[in-house]
Amino acid sequence: MNTQRRNGSALLLALVTLVILSALMVSFLFRIHLEAELATAYRFRVKAQSLAEAGQEYAKLMLIKSFRAGNEPEEEYSERFFLALKNLSRGMAVSGYTVEMDGGAFTLHITPEQGRRNVNTLSEADWEQMLENVGVPEELHDPLFASFQDWIDADEASRLQGAESDDPYYTDRGYPVKNARVDTIDEMLLIKGFTRAILYGGRLEEEHEMPEVEVSGIAPLLTVYGDGRVNVNTANRDVLLTVSGLKEEDADRLIEGRTGPDEIPGTEDDGYPSTDRALAYAGLPGDVSNVFSTTDRRWVRVTSVGEAGGVRAAIWTLYEFTGRGLSVHAYREEPLP
């Protein structure tokens, strides 16, 4: 009997030991597999980042060459590359330009910054139009415009419905108004009335206590660069509709005419050669020509997205053309899902 008990105990102990060893082995194999997956993901992430950086260098090459684009493509470059140069030379955007490389690819989006409105130069009528278009209630239009003007003007005289440094909004927060032009769009979050929802979209729940009102946000329409004119070859429909007095059918006609005489997008004759040609095509009066530009591209926004093994990384850069070439005014890296 004792022998049977000892044998039974030994068998049980062996089974327990086997179970423990099996669990340890499974855990070990799982850890090896997990570490291998993490190493692969890290390798792809580094590769995607490198491709995004390569995309920025490629975009710089395109921008520099676009200033001296000839009538025929250079032998070492493709017809597609030449067409992109011609588009850039006419102040047009280049979007979705993908270059395949070993182990991945990068995709470029190159847009003249004057495809957006310079917020520092908007008239009261432009503000009214823009705020209405994004869904901001009318009762907020005058306070927002007045507060913005008080922020950027040089004096401390408060406008009706505006706010200067002595306003409780600023004294409670411990900073004065700037009394100078805004340098970034995010800076507007410091100005009375300009909540994150106003800038980037969402419900007006915070300061304005209008949770039932949802707006699309004004930030995608704005920049702080340029002379205030709108690049008619680049601006999207929403940006064009911020121009006071411009109707929806006018904006649609302006966009339609970008395809050039052959009316085929993506060909060599795309884009308006002059603002006069754009206004004539859309049937707009010549006295609004000072609102628009065509080939002005002193400021250019470049987004390059690198992708490897299903992992993406993006780099966003704002370049300025100077007499010595390109200088960087803003740079941001953005990991993507």
The two three-digit tokens of residue 131, written as one number: 């705020």
- Predicted confidence at residue 44, as pLDDT, reads 85
In this structure, are residues 190 and 175 in contact, taking their beta carbons and an 8 Å threshold?
yes
HEC profile of the chain:
CHHHHHHHHHHHHHHHHHHHHHHHHHHHHHHHHHHHHHHHHHHHHHHHHHHHHHHHHHHHHHHHHHCCCCCCCCCCCCHHHHHHHHHHHCCCCEEEEEEEECCEEEEEEEEEHHHCEEHHHCCHHHHHHHHHHCCCCHHHHHHHHHHHHHHHCCCCCCCCCCCCCCCHHHHHHCCCCCCCCCCCCHHHHHCCCCCHHHHHCEEECCCCCEEEEEECCCHHHEECCCCCCEECCCCCHHHHCCCCCCCHHHHHHHHHHHHCCCCCCCCCCCCCCCHHHHHHHHCCCHHHHHHEECCCCCEEEEEEEEEECCEEEEEEEEEEEECCEEEEEEEEEEEEC
- Predicted confidence at residue 111, as pLDDT, reads 92
Global model pTM greater than 0.85: no
Q: Can you tell me the distance from the alpha carbon of 47 to that of 311, in angstroms, rounded to the nearest whole number?
A: 9
Altogether, the residues listed in the chain come to a count of 337
Q: Can you tell me the distance from the alpha carbon of 290 to that of 292, in angstroms, rounded to the nearest whole number?
A: 6
pLDDT tens, residue order, the chain (337 aa): 555 555 556 666 667 677 676 666 766 666 666 666 656 667 888 899 999 999 999 999 999 888 876 666 566 678 889 889 888 888 889 999 999 988 899 999 999 999 999 999 999 999 999 999 999 999 999 999 999 999 999 998 999 999 999 999 999 999 999 999 999 999 999 999 999 999 999 999 877 788 899 999 999 999 999 888 999 999 999 999 999 888 999 999 999 999 888 888 877 788 898 899 999 999 988 777 788 988 777 899 999 999 998 889 999 999 998 877 889 988 998 766 6
Fold of 135-217: Ribonucleotide Reductase Protein R1; domain 1 (1.10.40)
In this structure, are residues 114 and 224 in contact, taking their beta carbons and an 8 Å threshold?
no
Q: Can you tell me the distance from the alpha carbon of 212 to that of 131, in angstroms, rounded to the nearest whole number?
A: 17
Q: Can you tell me the distance from the alpha carbon of 229 to that of 295, in angstroms, rounded to the nearest whole number?
A: 11
Identify which of 275, 337, 269 has the alpha carbon closest to the alpha carbon of residue 305.
337
Identify which of 247, 266, 295, 257 has the alpha carbon closest to the alpha carbon of residue 115.
295
Dihedrals phi, psi of 287, to nearest 5 degrees: -75, -5
Q: Which residues pair with 106 in a beta bridge?
A: 99, 306
Q: Can you tell me the distance from the alpha carbon of 147 to that of 182, in angstroms, rounded to the nearest whole number?
A: 13
In this structure, are residues 69 and 271 in contact, taking their beta carbons and an 8 Å threshold?
no
The two three-digit tokens of residue 87, written as one number: 């588009």
In this structure, are residues 307 and 51 in contact, taking their beta carbons and an 8 Å threshold?
yes
- Predicted confidence at residue 300, as pLDDT, reads 93
- Predicted confidence at residue 245, as pLDDT, reads 86
The two three-digit tokens of residue 315, written as one number: 């780099």
Which residues have a Cβ under 8 Å from the Cβ of 62 and sit 6 or more positions away?
81, 84, 85, 88, 94, 108, 110
